[in-house]
Amino acid sequence: MIVTTTHYVEGRPVQEYLGIINAQSIIGANIFKDFLGGLRDVFGGRSKTYEKVIEQAKEDALRELAEKAQAVGANAIIGVDLDFETIGGSGSMLMVIASGTAVRL
Amino acid sequence: MKTWFGTYLTSSHAEPVEATVLAYEKNIAIGFRQANGDNSTINWNIGDIDAAFDNSLQATKISNIKDPGTKLLINGKNAKEYIEQLQAEHHKPWHKKENTKEWSRNLLIFLSIASVLVTAYFLIVPWLSEKLASTVSVKTEEQFGNAVYDALSLEEDKEATIIVNNFFKELKVTTAYNVRIIVVNSDVVNAFALPGGNIVVYTGLLKELKTYPELVALLSHEFIHVNNKHSTKSIFRQLGSRVFLSLLFGKFGSVTSVMIDQADKFKSLKYSRGLEKEADVEGLAILKERKIDPEGFVSLFKHLKDSAPASAMPELLGSHPDIDNRIAYIRDVSKNAAVEENIQLKTIFEKLK
């Protein structure tokens, strides 16, 4: 499975377009992570705990995207776009949306 | 997750088809197009497959023991190495009962962190706040107390103020604070102490007092609040637990924060009742040392009770202990106290009338 943000795959023309697919992952940092993140907010510095949460959400979204592509018989996803949003009452949850075009090369 | 392109054979005689392979932690998913054009995905468990490198093909050959005859070919050695890694991981003992193990481990971590936080909230934060409060200098407390008093802008009864201050001086208590009593014109039956030595007494309460031991009781109670830094400690404790809670729960919605606020207030009320009791008991010691009638406290409490008619609020929700409780423990502590008439205090007290 080729997953790429570009619109072409070098040297391999698209044989078949299988439609737009998207996948989302909504993830909550737990209260301890929020506590540690809160400390970082006060004392400054990089918040590794939140970074890991974002990384995890991104991985999950891309994985789900690949699953969907496989299910429609694609062997590549082109033009992949990742969107990061915070949602929930006070923005304490993270949402990652991955979308792209499933194609057969 | 890893992905590869491969060739899939549904049986040993079938035509090989192009396949996309997604390798997850527990399984690999093979996607291919059937002869009739339909898409199909099959899943092989990591435990069921066997991956070997075929030198002549320079490809990884994967077969499934549960589905003999099927075969998957992936170019290069990468797939074999990755699948072997997954299988090694899969065979580790904790993977077998993964769910229960993980749950009990997470629960243990959660409980230990929660107990650390609870200890911090109930013991460490208050202790630290009080330590900090005790480092505040008398001068700083005075400045703060004066600022608060000025902000209140109360109407002072100058004549009564002089008399009550003389009365307090006659008690000859030793303290680092410059205690200043201010009598304020108001019908309120109350008195309070500010950090740094300002004690405010309302004329409403002064009028109620019938004998001088009552005034001694009132002033010693408020004096203990000042001398033991009760206001400063309360402020620091509240500030400390606020900062701690907002770090912990600051990101929650408004409903949660209201609940947490109330719970925090409830806790500080208990502390406040503790301080009031301390002020009562240590204030009583001042009376006993000077052989002043401890009944002064009892009648003072009775005046307070009369002024606040039958409040139905249980002690648990009050900042002060229940008046009947206060009377009970004062009577308990003041048993067999020696009592002598103090002419000087009496004379000064008469001037108020």
Count other Cβ atoms within 10 Å, centred on residue B178.
Answer: 12
B145 class by beta-carbon count within 10 Å (0-12 exposed, 13-18 middle, 19+ buried):
buried
The model's pTM is 0.59
Residue B247 to residue A35, Cβ atoms within 8 A: yes
* Mean pLDDT value across chain B: 85
Non-local (6+) Cβ contacts of B254 within 8 A are A89
Tokens describing residue B12:
């040993």
- What pLDDT shows up at residue B99? 62
Q: Band of the pLDDT at B301, cuts 50, 70, 90?
A: confident
Q: Where are the beta strands (DSSP E) in B194-346?
A: 198-202
Residue A74 to residue B250, Cβ atoms within 8 A: no
Q: Which amino acid is at A53?
A: V
Rounded to whole angstroms, the Cα distance separating A22 from B271 reads 55
If one compares B108 and B25, the residue with the highest pLDDT of the two is B108
Which residues numbered 36-95 in A keep a CB inside 8 Å of some CB on B? 38-39, 42, 59, 62-63, 66-67, 69-75, 89-92
CB-nearest to B20 from A32, A39, A75 is A75
Contact assessment for residue B73 and residue B56, using Cβ atoms and an 8 Å cutoff: no
- What pLDDT shows up at residue B220? 93
- Nearest Cα residue to B289 out of B185, B123, B199, B174: B174
Residue A92 to residue B248, Cβ atoms within 8 A: no
* Bridge partners of residue B63, in order along the sequence: B50, B71
What is the ipTM score, two decimals? 0.72
Contact assessment for residue B18 and residue B32, using Cβ atoms and an 8 Å cutoff: yes
Out of A17-21, A39-43, A50-54, B326-330, the most confident range is A17-21
What SS3 class is residue B341? coil
Contact assessment for residue A100 and residue A15, using Cβ atoms and an 8 Å cutoff: no
**H or E segment to which residue A22 belongs:** strand A16-28
Q: What does the pLDDT average to over B127-136?
A: 88
Q: What does the pLDDT average to over B221-236?
A: 90
CB-nearest to A38 from B21, B22, B247 is B247
Mind listing the pLDDT tens digit for each residue in B34-67?
878 888 888 888 888 888 888 888 888 888 888 8
Do the strands B2-9 and B71-75 form a parallel or antiparallel pair, or are they unpaired? antiparallel
Q: What does the pLDDT average to over A53-71?
A: 90
- What pLDDT shows up at residue A65? 93
